[in-house]
Structure formats: structure tokens, C-alpha cells
A = this chain, B = another copy of it.
Amino acid sequence: MPVDQHSADQRGVDRRDVLVGGLSALGGLAAGAAGGVGVARSGAAPAPAGSGPGAGSGSEADHATTVELAGSQRRPFHGEHQPGIMDAPQAHGVWVAMDLVPGADVTALQRLMRIWTQDVAQLMAGRAPYADFEPELTATTASLTVTVGIGPRVLGLRGVTATRPTWLQPLPAFPQIDRLDPRWSGGDVLLQICADSPITVSHAQWVLTKEARTIATVRWVQRGFRQGHAVTRPGETMRNLFGQVDGTVNPVPGRDDAVVWCGPSAPRWLQGGTTMVLRRIAMDLETWEEADPLTRDTSLGRRQRDGSPLTGRAETDAPDVAATDRLGLPVIDEFSHVRRSLPHEKGLTDRFLRRPYSYDDPPDPGRLTNAGLLFVAYQAELEQYLSVQRRLAEADLLNTWTTPIGSAVFAIPRGCREGEVLAQDLWA
């Protein structure tokens, strides 16, 4: 089936030119808009989507310009790191794990990575890939990012020359808390697809999985969301479905890059890459309901109202775990989530990047809800995550209401430069 790629390209370019031209003529915003694409990669909030020309008149034309920007925002695919990790989390995301077909070897892997490298670059640029028959959906990029991960079994494929890092295997069991369901666990290769429009996410998912279908089958799909696009302030920490401010303490791009990106001591294919853990954590709204505000805040160590630590006034105040009340008891309970998860060390050893999304699926018969969190963690070394996870499994008051029901670990290869193929160091 012929797809007129040239015309799709032209459409994308024309549209962008019109936009930037229009803005530049009207308000000098062109630099800001272009800057948005650039800074997004470094973790800053996306460029203002809301400061269109003609503010104050409130006419429909103003609004049209504004929302066009949101739908056509793009992030760069090529770079030192893969996108979708340290950049600002988009409103919607899906995680798709696929298993390579029996007998797949390095040739199959190479073919898959070549297809995905080409298609992801096209999709993120708003251009229809070769076998995209709904280019109209591709045109709405909405800050799309696609991140590709490598599961443990891939390193054992015939022809793969890199050796498997010892950590690249299913997480150790946490029998105190885990109730893992195989249908949310494991996988040979991973697609993480995030965008500010759920249709953009769905369409990219369809194009990338169908292009892989002769090489790999879908193992599981998990969809999640944060606040809708343009609903909260950029940079505002999200709330999960327990109502908690979730993700306050997170590495800052630039300053804390070493927390996330693998350095020179890692295998070549991971230098500039990272390690990813996806835990599917069921959150029992039906029992959380029974916890009064004091219990809730004590269990977390922060106030639900505004995310501030019990020893502070603002969300960003550092929790003071040494503080005691008039009776000499710790203000932040020693079994609270914050106390147990707070880094013990000054260095990187127990810090990591969280990029969580909520889920809310149809409940099982007889239940009211089926909600929780896709807890997505990135760290240069898996041990950074594990050292915290071990403490939380031993004791964390929040465990009363949360249950890990899925678990997967992936290696995220470094980013691609122009002309390179994702994960190419695995066989080079």
C-alpha cells in the first residue's frame, strides 16, 4: 500500500512554519516555542502552550493558535540518551512488553531495532513511517516520546556479542509484599510510549507493535495517566489516586545526571543508557478509605493536603527525620514511607528517578475498583533502586494499602545519533 511520505513530510513542515511564522509575527514567541522542544529533553517543563498572540481578546483565533502548539509539540529522538526518561512526563503513557518469537536470533533483533529506530524517529517528528496508514493521527505529536528497553533473554540470543550484566534479570523476590501476576511481569523487549494525547499514544503503539509482529508477540500492555495535559502547572508534582503528592524528591537534570545515566564503568551499549524497573502496584482504595487523615499523613510522613513533610511547611522542604515532638517521639514515624525511602547516603547509592503513572482499570466482579500506580524507576545501577526497595519491603506503613502485582526489569540502551540503530552495540 503506497503511502505518500513526501506529502506527509511537507504537511508537517508547512504546518510548523505557519505556526512559528505566525507566532513570530504576532508576539515574538518563536524562540520560546522552539526552545520548548530543546529544553524538554533536559527535563524542564515544556514550552508555554498557553501564551498565544492576542491575549486579552479571547477570540477563537487565539485559542486555535494555542492548542495547535500543544498538539504539534515535538521532542528530539536523536541524542546521547533516549527520550522519555529525564524529560517532563507527558499526560499519558503505555508500556508494552513483547517476547521474541521462538528461534529468534541476532538477525531478528537487528531487524526489529532497525524498524523501531526508523519508525520512532519518524513518529516523534510527526512524519508517517513507511507502514503508517493513519498519517493524520501521526501529525499530532503532542510531545510523543518512545523509549526502547531490552529484557534479560535478549542477551542470550545467538549472535549477540555483549554479555548480560548480572543485574539484568527479574528482581529478587520480596515475599513480604509481592503478589506478582505473570501477566504483568517480564518481557524480552519493551516499548514505553508517552504523549500528551491518548490517541497519539494509541497510534504509535499500533504502528510499532504491528511492525514488530513477525519478530515478537505482545506479552502485556499497561496504560497509565497523570493529570491531563495543561490541567496543572508545569512542574507541579502529580497526585496519585490515594490523593498523595507523588514524586517530590527526584533527581534534577544536569545536577543529578549521574543518578540516572550509566557512566564509563558500564558496558558500552549502556553508557548513556539506564536501568528501568516497572512495578505495577495495586492501591486498595476500599481500605485506604478507612484510614483517617492522621493515619494517612503518618503513614506517608507527608501531609496529603499539600505534600509537605510533617516537619515542614512546603512540599519542597527537606524532611527532618531527627525532629521529635514534646514527648520525644519522632515527628516523622520511623516506619513511614518517607522515612523508609529517604536516601541514607549522600551519594548516588540509594537515589533514583521516579516517573510514575496512575492506572484505573475495570474492577473484577464484586469489586468497586481496580486502581493503582505504574511505578517506573530509572537509575544508573539497579542496586540504587534495590537498596530502597529492600527497606520498603521490610517495613513501610503504606504497604498496608499497596501490593506489587507486576514486576519487570529492562536495560535502556544509550540514545541514537543520526544513522545509528538502537541497541546496536549489542551486536557490534
Q: Is A225 engaged at the interface, CB distance under 8 Å to the other chain? A: yes
Would you list which residues of chain A between 330 and 382 have a CB under 8 Å from chain B? 358, 360-363, 366-369, 371
A49 CA / B62 CA spacing, docked (Å): 9
A134-B242, A142-B231, A196-B231 known; A63-B49 Cβ under 8 A: yes
- Give chain B residues whose Cβ lies under 8 Å from the Cβ of A79: none
A31 CA / B1 CA spacing, docked (Å): 51
A71-B232, A202-B371 known; A362-B66 Cβ under 8 A: no
Q: Is A209 engaged at the interface, CB distance under 8 Å to the other chain? A: yes
- Give chain B residues whose Cβ lies under 8 Å from the Cβ of A59: 48, 51
Q: Is A159 engaged at the interface, CB distance under 8 Å to the other chain? A: no
In the assembled complex, the CB of A4 is this many whole angstroms from the nearest CB of chain B, namely 9
Q: How many copies does the complex hold?
A: 2
Would you call A53 and B50 a contact (CB within 8 A)?
A: no
A-B contact pairs, 14 of them (CB 8 A): A1-B292, A50-B52, A60-B235, A64-B234, A67-B230, A135-B243, A137-B243, A142-B231, A200-B228, A203-B243, A206-B368, A209-B368, A220-B362, A221-B363
Q: Is A241 engaged at the interface, CB distance under 8 Å to the other chain? A: yes
- Give chain B residues whose Cβ lies under 8 Å from the Cβ of A42: none
Would you call B48 and A62 a contact (CB within 8 A)?
A: yes
Would you list which residues of chain A between 228 and 264 have a CB under 8 Å from chain B? 228-235, 239, 241-243
A48 CA / B231 CA spacing, docked (Å): 13
